Amino acid sequence: QRVHYRNGLVGKTPTLSRIQIRCLEEVGFRWVAAMLAIWDDRFKQLIEYKNKNVNCLVPAQYDQNPALGRWVGSQCKLYKNGQMKEERVKQLQEIGFIWSAR
């Protein structure tokens, strides 16, 4: 459900209706805490990747951690579209994140 909810937030076609979201919230479903934890986990994974590879250029098809490769691509897209929180921009810049490898 969180993935479907997040799709609507990152500009993809929403797969949860407003009614479905409201029903889940009414039974105590939490969106944000889990999404923050996912971001923090991926950020830590990126730091580990950088420590091993000297850069943050995680390939989109990174076999050892496909989710990290997708996450890095998502961060670039969010930044390009002006949808990333300034705090996250700073965190990524501090570790030498490259917004576009092209």
| Residue indicated by tokens 């579209």 | 81
Assess whether pLDDT exceeds 70 at residue 35: no
Assess whether pLDDT exceeds 80 at residue 98: yes
What distance in Å separates the CA atoms of residue 37 and residue 30, rounded to the nearest whole number? 12
Instruction: Kindly report the number of other CB atoms within 10 A of residue 92's CB atom.
Output: 20
CA atoms within 13 A on the CB side of 80: 12
Average pLDDT over residues 20-47: 85
At 49, the pLDDT band (50, 70, 90 cuts) reads very high
Are 33 and 25 spatial neighbours (Cβ–Cβ below 8 Å)? Answer: no
Are 46 and 58 spatial neighbours (Cβ–Cβ below 8 Å)? Answer: yes
Kindly give, in sequence order, each residue whose CB lies less than 8 Å from that of residue 43, ignoring residues fewer than 6 positions away: 91, 92
Q: How many residues does the chain have?
A: 102
